[in-house]
Amino acid sequence: MPAEATMKEGSPRFVNRLAGANIAAGEVLVIGVQTFVAHSAIANGKMGGVSAGGGVYRMLCAAAYAEGVKVYWDNAANKITTTAGGNQHFGYMAPNGASTGVDTYGNVIHEPNN
């Protein structure tokens, strides 16, 4: 499976996370109401850094979304959506990074809960 989030640019803010299961590089984690992105694999039972925001990521989007649109992480479908209900805020579509249609990739600014 391809990475859920691939770093494009920016300055991510990292926090440590103790993995309760194996975490793949590029995996989006939902912990409480917050979204995080693992930049490298973290083995079960090990501590590793995950991004709490600040980066721009290339991600699969459920539909065409314009620049600046507020987006959410759909943890069941493993993609970005504009549907808030049942999903966690991830950030905003980046300038020059809009998705162009159903199940296409776009660049997303990771700024959860802003």
Asked if pLDDT for residue 113 goes beyond 90, the answer is no
Task: Specify the pLDDT at position 1.
Answer: 62
CB 65 within 8 A of CB 106: yes
Report d(CA 68, CA 97) in Å as an integer: 9
Q: Name the helix (H) or strand (E) containing 71.
A: strand 70-74
pLDDT value at 81 more than 70: yes
What percent of the chain shows pLDDT beyond 70?
99
pLDDT of 83 over the 80 cut? yes
Q: Are 96 and 8 in contact (CB under 8 A)?
A: no
Q: How many C-beta neighbours within 10 Å does residue 22 have?
A: 12
Share of the chain above pLDDT 90, in %: 95
pLDDT 10s digits, 31-68:
999 999 999 999 999 999 999 999 999 999 999 999 99
pLDDT of 114 over the 80 cut:
no
| pLDDT score, position 106 | 97
